[in-house]
């Protein structure tokens, strides 16, 4: 697997073999870290971390990942640079590309991370945009491999807001990796039809399926139950209507029972609003692997940086 110099903006851009390669690298880096073995593949590299949206896991994962591999991370918040405000995204990209060896972007518009990639001349990594959250999917997949032993052929059910960046990215990733993917959500919150068709094409090639449903009965047979906040950042004004619309899709003990499996794991990209999309009972249960998932953000993000920038 040679990903040197590649950007990491969406899993659409990567083959199943490349995605698996990143997961295998992440597992190797994780095992080494547990033994106290750190790398120096990013020694002497300077990494810009642009955050329009605040974050616990993404910021910490990139910072620790950089440090573990010998790089210097520089945090750039909304008050630190003029991205798209006093200075165009193109000009900011060209300046940062001359000073930094790699750029992470976490923000709103996906076109901004695309412009950074186009104009900076260095690898750019998507830490989250309104459309996609690809580093989270790698962490989710590594967690599934650890707990369930495989990806291909698993039954994965996502409940809640089916058209946010998590649902989009999980659908792309599951389609590519041969995971049977179901979104259970009200029709008003289903993903865009063109993206569904694209992912069905991936699934056809991988021998899996993509299903959209409004019925929670379709969690039957699920190996993974996944949910996310009902209101993404920037949608706070819609909170009351979303709660009313999505209450029937809450992940609670009764819903977990509907899977008919004792081995089903519960996943959430965090932060969670307990009492909304998931009950405290399920969140704190033995089936919940959310903190393994959170830790794996760091190992998988480190793998992305090492693969695309490392020596």
Annotated catalytic residue within 174, 199, 231, 269: 269
143 is annotated as contributing to ligand binding: no
144 is annotated as contributing to ligand binding: no
Annotated catalytic residue within 59, 110, 112, 136: 136
Annotated catalytic residue within 133, 268, 287, 299: 133
Within 10 Å of residue 239's Cβ, how many Cβ atoms? Answer: 14
270 is annotated as contributing to ligand binding: yes
Cα–Cα distance measured from residue 266 to residue 210, given in angstroms and rounded to the nearest whole number: 20
Beta carbons of 190 and 165 less than 8 angstroms apart: no
Over 141-202, what HEC string results? HHHHHHHHCCCCCCEEEEECCCCCHHHHHHHHHHHHHCCEEEEECCHHHCCCHHHHHHHHHH
106 is annotated as contributing to ligand binding: yes
237 is annotated as contributing to ligand binding: no
67 is annotated as contributing to ligand binding: no
Is residue 269 among the annotated active site residues?
Answer: yes
228 is annotated as contributing to ligand binding: yes
135 is annotated as contributing to ligand binding: yes
58 is annotated as contributing to ligand binding: yes
How many residues does the structure list for the chain? 311
By three-state DSSP, how is residue 281 classified?
helix
Read out DSSP for 232-247? Answer: -TT-GGGHHHHHHHHG
Annotated catalytic residue within 106, 112, 268, 287: 106
297 is annotated as contributing to ligand binding: yes
Annotated catalytic residue within 110, 242, 268, 297: 297
Is residue 136 among the annotated active site residues?
Answer: yes
Is residue 35 among the annotated active site residues?
Answer: no
Is residue 59 among the annotated active site residues?
Answer: no
Annotated catalytic residue within 130, 218, 223, 228: 228
7 is annotated as contributing to ligand binding: no
Look at phi and psi of residue 22 and say left if phi exceeds 0, alpha if psi is from -120 to 50, else beta.
alpha
Cα–Cα distance measured from residue 287 to residue 269, given in angstroms and rounded to the nearest whole number: 15
Of 110, 116, 50, 47, which is closest to residue 77 (Cα–Cα)?
Answer: 50
Is residue 194 among the annotated active site residues?
Answer: no
- Residues designated as active site: 106, 133, 136, 228, 269, 297
Q: Which segments are annotated as binding site for L-ornithine?
A: 165, 228, 232-233
Q: Which segments are annotated as binding site for carbamoyl phosphate?
A: 55-58, 82, 106, 133-136, 269-270, 297
Q: Which segments are annotated as binding site?
A: 55-58, 82, 106, 133-136, 165, 228, 232-233, 269-270, 297
């Amino acid at each position: 697997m040679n990903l040197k110099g590649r950007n990491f903006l969406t899993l659409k851009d990567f083959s199943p073999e490349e995605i698996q390669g990143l997961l295998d690298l992440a597992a190797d880096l994780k095992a080494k870290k547990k033994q106290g073995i750190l790398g120096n593949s990013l020694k002497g590299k300077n990494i810009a971390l642009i955050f329009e949206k605040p974050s616990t896991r993404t910021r910490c994962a990139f910072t620790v990942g950089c440090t573990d591999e010998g790089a210097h991370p520089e945090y750039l918040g909304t008050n630190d640079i003029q991205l798209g405000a006093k200075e165009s995204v193109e000009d900011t990209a060209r300046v940062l590309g001359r000073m930094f060896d790699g750029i992470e972007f976490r923000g709103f518009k996906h076109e901004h991370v695309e412009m950074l990639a186009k104009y900076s001349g260095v690898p750019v990594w998507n830490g989250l945009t309104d459309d996609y959250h690809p580093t989270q999917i790698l962490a989710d997949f590594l967690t599934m491999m650890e707990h369930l032993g495989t990806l291909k052929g698993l039954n994965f059910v996502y409940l809640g807001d089916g058209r946010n960046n998590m649902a989009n990215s999980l659908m792309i990733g599951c389609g590519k990796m041969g995971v049977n993917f179901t979104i259970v959500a009200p029709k008003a919150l289903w993903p865009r039809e063109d993206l569904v068709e694209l992912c069905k094409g991936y699934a056809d090639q991988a021998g899996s399926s993509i299903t959209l449903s409004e019925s929670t009965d379709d969690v039957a047979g699920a190996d993974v139950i996944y949910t996310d906040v009902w209101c993404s950042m920037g949608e706070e004004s819609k909170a009351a209507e979303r709660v009313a619309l999505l209450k029937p899709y809450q992940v609670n003990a009764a819903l977990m029972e509907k899977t008919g499996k004792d081995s089903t794991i519960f996943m959430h990209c965090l932060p969670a609003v307990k009492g909304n999309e998931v009950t405290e009972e399920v969140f704190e249960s033995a089936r919940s692997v959310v903190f393994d998932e959170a830790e794996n953000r760091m190992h998988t993000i480190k793998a992305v940086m090492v693969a695309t920038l490392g020596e």
